[in-house]
Structure formats: C-alpha cells, structure tokens
Amino acid sequence: MRRTSRDIRTANRYEILRHVITESPVSRPELARLTGLSQATVATLVTELSELGLLVEAGFEDSEGGRPRALLAVAAGRGALVGVDVAETYVHAELFDLSLTVVARADREVRPGENGPEQVVARIADAVDEVLEGHVGRVLGVGVSLPGQVDREGGVSVYAPNWNWHDVPLRALLAERIDLPLHLDNPLHASTVAELWFGAARGRQDAVVVNLGTGVGAGLALGGGLYRGIGNSAGEWGHTTLVLDGRLCHCGNRGCVETYVGAPGIMLNLRELSPGSPLLHPDDQTATVRALAAAAAEGQPVAVKAVQETARYLGAGIADLVNLLNPEVIVLSSWVTTCLGELLLDETRAAVARHALRHSLAGAEIVLSPVPTDPVCLGAATFALEQALAPAPRRTP
Amino acid sequence: MRRTSRDIRTANRYEILRHVITESPVSRPELARLTGLSQATVATLVTELSELGLLVEAGFEDSEGGRPRALLAVAAGRGALVGVDVAETYVHAELFDLSLTVVARADREVRPGENGPEQVVARIADAVDEVLEGHVGRVLGVGVSLPGQVDREGGVSVYAPNWNWHDVPLRALLAERIDLPLHLDNPLHASTVAELWFGAARGRQDAVVVNLGTGVGAGLALGGGLYRGIGNSAGEWGHTTLVLDGRLCHCGNRGCVETYVGAPGIMLNLRELSPGSPLLHPDDQTATVRALAAAAAEGQPVAVKAVQETARYLGAGIADLVNLLNPEVIVLSSWVTTCLGELLLDETRAAVARHALRHSLAGAEIVLSPVPTDPVCLGAATFALEQALAPAPRRTP
C-alpha cells in the first residue's frame, strides 16, 4: 500500500501547517529542521499554504549576520474549524480559529435511553448550530469523534458497544443537518493527535494515550505519528482481556479491561466493596464518579479503597501496554481521569510498577493529560483541517 | 529524536539492498517504485552498493521501445553473514551468502542447568566456529538473537526471564571468542524481519509475529517496518496479563500469557488435565511438546483437549493483539508452533474469533510462518547486514 504523490503532498502540507500552528512564529529554516523536509520543499509548501490564505508573515528574526529571516504564523482568523466530542453521556462542540484556539463552546447531554442515531444526530447538530451562531467567515470543516469503531472513509459508525450501534451511516445522517465537510473518527485517535500537537506526546517518538470514560481505549502514537491499524480500529485496549472469564462486557467477551476501569466498571468496583454506598447514583455514572472523587479526596476509606482497586486493574492493564509497546510516555485522559486526578495517578503508577517489566518501564513516564481544553474536540478539529489541506480531489466514478 | 542524514542514508541503502535481495533480478525503475525513493536517489545508492561489491548487473529487460533496462542482483558470493538463534534449549547457527541463502548450519543443545553466560557463550562460539569451518572470503558480521530483552547499542542481555539473566554484557563476552562484528537483538525482532522480507508480512503494512517457544512474544511490524519501542523492548506480549492473579511467572507477575502458552505453560495445561499423563517428560519441554503433538495428531482425547485448552488461552491473547493493533496478518512462528502446526492453528483461529471485535478481526489473517528455514537465524543475519551498510562511523570519544 504505497502512498501516492498526492497523499505525500497533503501530508507535507499538514506537517508544515502543524508546526506553524504549534511553534508560531517560526522561520522557514526552522520548519525544515522540524519536519526533516528540504528547504526547497518547505519554501514551495509555504507558498502554497500562503496562497490558500492559511499562513502569513509575522515579523523577522536576526540570522547571525545574514538577511533577517521572515517568521511565519497561521492566519488565525482566515478560517474556522469545528470539533465535536460525542461521548456516551454528552456532546461537546467547540469552534476553533486556525491557530486552534477555542472561540465558542456548546454542550448537550445524552441521557440514558436517548442514544438512538436520530437522537444523537440531533444533539450534535444542535451543538454545532450553537457554536456557529453569529460566526462570520469560512468554516473549513467539522470533525466529529464518535465512541467505538469508525470507518473514516465511509463515514460510518461501525460499532459503538455502549450504545449497541452497528454500521450506522452517521455522516450521511449528519449531512442532512450540517452543510459543511464532515469527518468522522473516534476519541482515541482524536485525543492522541491533541497530545501529539499540544500535549504530553509532543516531540515524543512512541506514546500511548489512555482514555478513561464510559468506554476506555488507548490511542497509539508510534514513530511520531498516529497509528490507526489496517481498518482504523487500532487502540481497542478496553476490549483486551485482563481477567479471563471475568466480568461480562458489552462486546460479548468476558474480563475486558473496560469492565474494570470504565465508569460503569468503577461503579461496580465500588458496589462490590460497599453495596449500599451513598456514593452510588444508579443510572448516573457521572454523578457517581464525581461523588467518589470528592469522597476519596476527603479520605473516606471506602472511596479510597475503590480508587485503589480501580488503579490495581488500571495498573495491570497499563503494564500490558508498557510491556507490549515500550513507549516513552503514557498519558491519562478523558473525563474519568479528570475527576479522579492525582489520586488515581499515584495509585496507578504504583500498580504499573508492580506489574511491568523493569526495563520496559524504565524509559516511560505516566502523566495526566496537560491539554487544557477538551482534547477530543481539538483532535477532531485537526482531522477537519487535515482533510481541508488535500489538493482538490479527482473524484473517481 | 530526528534521524541524522547518515541514518537516512544507511536506511536507504538497506531498503535498496533488501529489495534487490528479495525481488532479484530487479531494475532501477522497479526499485524506485518499491522503495518510494526518486530515480536519482536509487541510481546513487545502486552505484554506492555496487562499489561496495554488493550488487552486480544480471542481464537486461525490455522497456517497451526504450533502451533495455539493466537488471540488478545481489553479488551473492561476495560476502557472508552469520545468524545465530539462541533459545532456552538450543543454539542454531547458520551461515548465509549475500542472497540470504543458507550455506552451512550448526546446532548445539542448551541443557537445563547449563545456561550460565559462560556456558551459553561457549555454545554460541562453537556453533559459529562450525559454520565458518572451511569458509573462504569475507564475513560481514554475526547477528545473535538472545531470548528476552536486549540492549542493541550496548550489546547487553538486559533480562532473560527463563535464565534469570540480568544485565549480562554478552557482546563483550562473545568478542573474546569471535573476531567479527557482533550484533545482538532478540528473536521477536529477528523473526519479524524474516517475515517482512521473505514471509507472511511481506508487502503488508501492519503485521504481528507471535513466537511460541519456551518464552513467548509478539514481534510488531507496523507501517511496513519493525517497531522496536523506545528501549528496543517492544513485543513482550508474553508478559501481558491474561488472568489477573493467575499462574506465577518468572518475571514476578501473575497470569502472564507466557505461563499459559509457552512450552512450560503447555506442560502445565496437560498436567492439570491429566497429572500422570505418559506424554509428560519432566524437565524436557521439547520432548513433551513433541509427544503431545504426536498424540493429538492421533486423536488421543487428553492430548487434543490439552491443545484446545492451550488454543483457548492463545486465542484470547491473540485477540488482544487484534483489538489493540488491528493488524493485517498474525503469523505464528517458532518451535512450539512448528510442533503443533495445523491443529493449533485451527483451534486458535476459532478461539480468536470468539474473543476479538468483529471489525478488528475482519481485516486480519492468522497463518503459520511460511519461512522455510529458521526465521530467527535469518533475521539475525539481516541485522548484521544492516550494520555492515552503515557508512564508516565517526566514533565519538
């Protein structure tokens, strides 16, 4: 599967724009150094991106005796992107300028039982309408992250275990409500790109982004770029076996990592320790995880024990990633991580150290995501940007 | 961690030579197509490799009206390489010509209790001496594959769980006996390169090579090349958790994949089914696995059941690889696979299908290694070749 010259051109434009966005302002020689492209190639790509209105000159820097070097920045206001994070319990939409700064936000709740495709499409479209309200100027595209497995080319939600969706043509359904280029992918891939561009994976060769929400998974950044697998399904660490013949999972298997460290799994960990715990909000995983976090922060023994038990499972599962992939950094991300924070991190680090091979772990850091906004919205917006950079496609019949 | 221009030049030479070896005879335009390099770069690299005596012209092909195109082949007799497969119970050494055809073989047994570094070094050196006996001409290097985790640059066996080796400076010890360039790595990496060049991973983007021996592991070929991880330790799938709090493993963890599907684990599977089975040869895992294979082939119920039980564990472990990495092909390799063959393959395929996500498995084949010789020796020889292609290094003090 060799890449065409058009693929390579798109990828190079994307790499240049990525580095201008993340390093801005930056000179052409610096871009050549950062991308490994020749100075001539960088010059051509910068001209193309400037002609597309995406780059501008932003001052000069001294060049040790030579002519001052022009510095480049992204033309932040010359276009906008929308990123949408669709999770099992909520929809977040964010409008970004071309420097990937958030300029508007909208939220919708997805209540239990209201997760049919029509209902989810309505939530997404409402949230996108809201962030675009009053916006003037071109919108390059909308990136939508959906839980589960997504066929990017086809625009199909192949499988969303927590909703029991199979082969839902979501892009076509959304296109009836949103008249902009639409790009689908999943939160593992989106949050991984956010970490690569702006977070803990920046400048790293091999990184794993562990997403803990209702569902869980591990986005893989290998060799400095997002690893997708042959069918765009890489990262389903939530559906790897931690306890053979263990807890039943939505996916039909037993003992999956997700059944121990996803939000419903954490509720079960708590229930097993204390069946009548007042921290348990049946049918509301968000409220339960928040209550657990607050109680653990206060040192309530049952809450602390439930976080430790969760970290024990999580640590064993992360040790599997360390041993198999030998990454430089493991980033913990998504809303369950945000709720449980440092306490979960400390307990998890200790559990990983008990399970992982010493040499495999020696090169690895385990950190909380430093991305200050929703990394899934941010990553989804980069997917829309990537597609917008492709030279005009020749449609094949 | 950006590659230097010297790294890129070595990698390009290696890619050209690899394709000449595997596609021989081959024209310059075809090499450009196969490698994605420009015709000018290919011409330069072919000249360099010819000057090093590694390539020769081998006839011409028509070029549809133009000048006939020269075909290139490797100068098979202009150098030799040694590959050594050091396993827990044996040492295999093979001498290769530059087309990577085996020209001599030697074997040594490693008996239980005879696996201290001095003893293993003696076996390796004896086997290398034997394959080089009577050989005339230059030997470019010796690649040695050691079980466990290996520091390539340092030439150190970092950790070999089945021997309880820690930080053994094996290259230095070997250098006292072998006066040739020595390159250390492990069987996961070696067998994966063998599959990429000559086997089931050839032309594939994303492949996993599952090695089943005394130890087990999974070599990863991602994006068309070997994936090593940040400390050259990627692939330790044998030490991922399949059964939390399960069987005790050499590595100190419990429930590792290896304790269920490595040769000692298979012995234990058999013993749990039939404690007094005559198929069990205490202290001889090779004899036990062979006896089990023969009995299962004859349909002996306990033997068939032991293979099925092993395949149940193996299938769950391989499903983890499918779900996490979404590869195109999973290749089963090494001596336990060779012994148990089609029966293990069929049962494993069925078990993977029970555990893996449908969409993740849809793009994947599970096959036995088609490499006709020892893939670990072959891969180890390619590592020696790769090092021999590096332009003369500038040693830093």
Nearest to A230 among B205, B229, B241 (CB): B205
Beta pairing class for B90-97 and B80-86:
antiparallel
Task: Give the model confidence (pLDDT) of B111-133 as tens digits.
Answer: 888 999 999 999 999 999 999 99
Please compute the mean of the pLDDT values over residues B212-238 and round it to a whole number.
95
Please report the residues numbered 298 through 327 in chain A whose beta carbons come closer than 8 angstroms to any beta carbon of chain B.
313, 316-317, 319-320, 323-327
The pLDDT tens digits for A336-394 are: 999 999 999 999 999 999 999 999 999 899 999 999 999 999 999 999 999 888 766 55
Instruction: Using pLDDT thresholds of 50, 70 and 90, give the confidence band for residue A9.
Output: confident
Instruction: Annotate B185-206 with b (16+ C-beta within 10 A) or e (fewer).
Output: bbbbbbbbbbbbbbbbbeebbb
CA distance B268 to B247: 10
Q: What pLDDT score was predicted for residue A4?
A: 67
Per-residue CA distances from A218 to A15, A227, A285, A331, B313 (Å): 23, 11, 21, 9, 23
Q: Does the structure show a pLDDT above 80 at A253?
A: yes
Residues of A in contact with B323 (CB under 8 A): 233, 236-237, 239-240
Interface test with B, best of A149, A202, A240 (most B CBs within 10 A): A240
Considering only B7-16, B199-208, B253-262, B317-326, which range has the smallest mean pLDDT? B7-16
Kindly indicate the confidence band of residue A396, based on its pLDDT and cuts at 50, 70 and 90.
very low
Residues of chain B above pLDDT 90, percent: 84
Residue A3 confidence (pLDDT) above 70: no
Q: How far apart are CA B203 and CA B201, in angstroms?
A: 6
Average the pLDDT over A251-270 and give the result: 97
Q: How far is A168 from chain B (nearest CA, A)?
A: 14
DSSP assignment string, B324-374: HH--SEEEEESHHHHHHHHHHHHHHHHHHHHHS-HHHHHT-EEEE---SS-
Size of interface A-B (CB pairs under 8 A): 154
- Mean pLDDT of all residues belonging to chain B: 93
Residues A102-126 have a mean pLDDT of 95
Is B206 in contact with A240 (Cβ distance < 8 A)?
no
Least confident range from A25-29, A32-36, A202-206, B358-362: namely: A32-36
B244 touches chain A (CB under 8 A): yes
Quote the tokens at residue A123: 């939530």
Q: Do A231 and B359 touch (CB under 8 A)?
A: yes
Q: Are A130 and A117 in contact (CB under 8 A)?
A: no
Fold of B5-74: Arc Repressor Mutant, subunit A (1.10.10)
Furthest-apart CA atoms within chain B: distance in Å: 74
Chain-chain contact of B316 with A242 (C-beta, under 8 angstroms) = no
Residue B254: DSSP 8-state: B
Residue of chain B whose alpha carbon sits nearest to that of A352: B253
Amino acid at B365: E
Q: B362 and A324: CB-CB below 8 Å?
A: no
Q: Closest CB to B229: pick one of A36, A233, A325.
A: A325
- CB contacts, 8 Å: B251 with chain A: 357
pLDDT digits (tens, 9 = 90+) for A281-299: 988 999 999 999 999 999 9
Q: Is the dihedral of CA A334, A338, A341, A347 positive or negative?
A: negative
Stretch 51-110 of chain A: residues touching chain B, C-beta under 8 Å:
none
pLDDT tens digits, one per residue of B16-64 = 999 999 998 999 999 998 888 888 889 999 999 999 899 999 989 887 7
pLDDT > 70? residue B151: yes
Contact B241 A320 (CB under 8 A): yes
CB-based contact B242 A241, cutoff 8 Å? yes
In this complex, do A236 and B316 lie within 8 Å of one another by their Cβ atoms? Answer: no
For chain B, the first-to-last Cα distance in angstroms comes to: 21
Nearest to B226 by CA among B258, B187, B256, B261: B187
Confidence bin at A141 (pLDDT 50/70/90): very high
Strand-by-strand arrangement of the A149-151 sheet:
A149-151, A156-160, A165-168
% of chain B residues with pLDDT over 70: 97
- Taking each helix axis as running N to C, give the angle between helix A263-273 and helix A301-325, from 0 to 180 degrees, rounded to the nearest 10: 130
Enter the DSSP assignment of A2.
P
CATH of domain A202-370: 3.30.420.40
Q: Please tell us whether the domain made up of B203-370 is placed in CATH 3.30.420.40.
A: yes
Chain A residue numbers with beta carbons less than 8 Å from the beta carbon of B223 are 222-223, 227
| pLDDT the model gives residue B4 | 66
Predicted local confidence at residue A390, as pLDDT: 77
Query: Does the fold of domain A202-370 match that of domain A5-74?
Result: no
Residue count of chain B, please give it: 397
What is d(CA B255, CA B240) in angstroms, rounded to the nearest whole number? 8
* Predicted pLDDT at A397: 40
- Find, among A380, A5, A18, A6, the residue nearest to A225 by Cα: A18
Q: Give yes or no for residue B376 having a pLDDT over 50.
A: yes
A chain contacts of residue B2, beta-carbon cutoff 8 Å: 33, 36
Query: Best interface-test mutation with B: which of A269, A323, A354, A361 has the largest number of B CBs within 10 A?
Result: A323
Determine, for residues A241 and B205 on separate chains, whether the beta-carbon distance falls below 8 Å: no
Where along chain B do its domains lie? 5-74, 79-190+376-388, 203-370
CA distance A337 to chain B (A): 21
> What order of strands is seen across the sheet that includes strand B90-97?
B102-109, B90-97, B80-86, B139-145, B182-185
Residue B392 pLDDT > 70, yes or no?
no
Is pLDDT of A149 > 80?
Answer: yes
d(CA B344, CA B296): 10
A206 touches chain B (CB under 8 A): yes
- How many Cβ atoms from other residues are within 10 Å of residue B297's Cβ? 15
Would the pLDDT of A107 be above 90?
Answer: yes
Per-residue confidence (pLDDT) for residue B396, from 0 to 100:
46
At what angle are helices B5-23 and B28-35 packed, to 10 degrees?
Answer: 120
Token output for A320 = 């599997």
* DSSP annotation of A67: P
State the Cα–Cα distance between residues A256 and A246, nearest whole angstrom: 8
Are B327 and A230 inside 8 Å of each other by CB? yes
Arithmetic mean of pLDDT over chain A: 93
Closest alpha carbon to A159 in B235, B178, B250, B358: B358
In a 13 Å sphere around the CA of A67, the CA atoms on its Cβ side amount to 5
To probe the interface with A, which of B2, B359, B361, B366 has the most A CB atoms within 10 Å? B359
Three-class DSSP labels, A159-189: EECCCCEEEECHHHHHHCCCCCCEEEECHHH
Q: Tell which residue, A83, A360, A359, A321, has the closest CA to residue A222.
A: A321
The position carrying tokens 């769980």 is: B161
Task: Give CA separation, A343 vs A304, A335, A346, A373, B363, in Å.
Answer: 9, 14, 5, 21, 40
Is the predicted pLDDT of residue A244 greater than 70, yes or no? yes
Q: Which of B124, B131, B125 is nearest to B87 (CA)?
A: B124
Q: Does domain A78-190+376-388 have CATH number 3.30.420.40?
A: yes
Mean pLDDT of A145-173: 94
Separation in Å, CA of B243 to nearest CA in chain A: 5
Q: How far apart are the first and last CA of chain A?
A: 21
Mean pLDDT of the region B198-202: 95
Q: Which of A206, A230, A362 sits opposite B363 (nearest CB)?
A: A230
Task: State how far residue B394 is from chain A, nearest Cα, in angstroms.
Answer: 22
Q: What is the pLDDT of residue A350?
A: 98
Token pair in block for residue A51: 């002609």
The pLDDT assigned to B125 comes to 98
Out of 3.40.50.970, 3.40.50.1000, 3.90.105.20, 3.30.420.40, select the CATH number for domain B79-190+376-388.
3.30.420.40
CB B356 within 8 Å of CB B363 = no
Secondary structure in 3-state letters for A100-150:
CCEEEEEEEECCCCCCCHHHHHHHHHHHHHHHHCCCCCCEEEEEEECCCEE
Residue B245's region, left for phi above 0, alpha for psi from -120 to 50, else beta, is: left
Look up residue A234 and give its two tokens: 């890489």
Give the three-class secondary structure for B182. strand
pLDDT at B397: 40
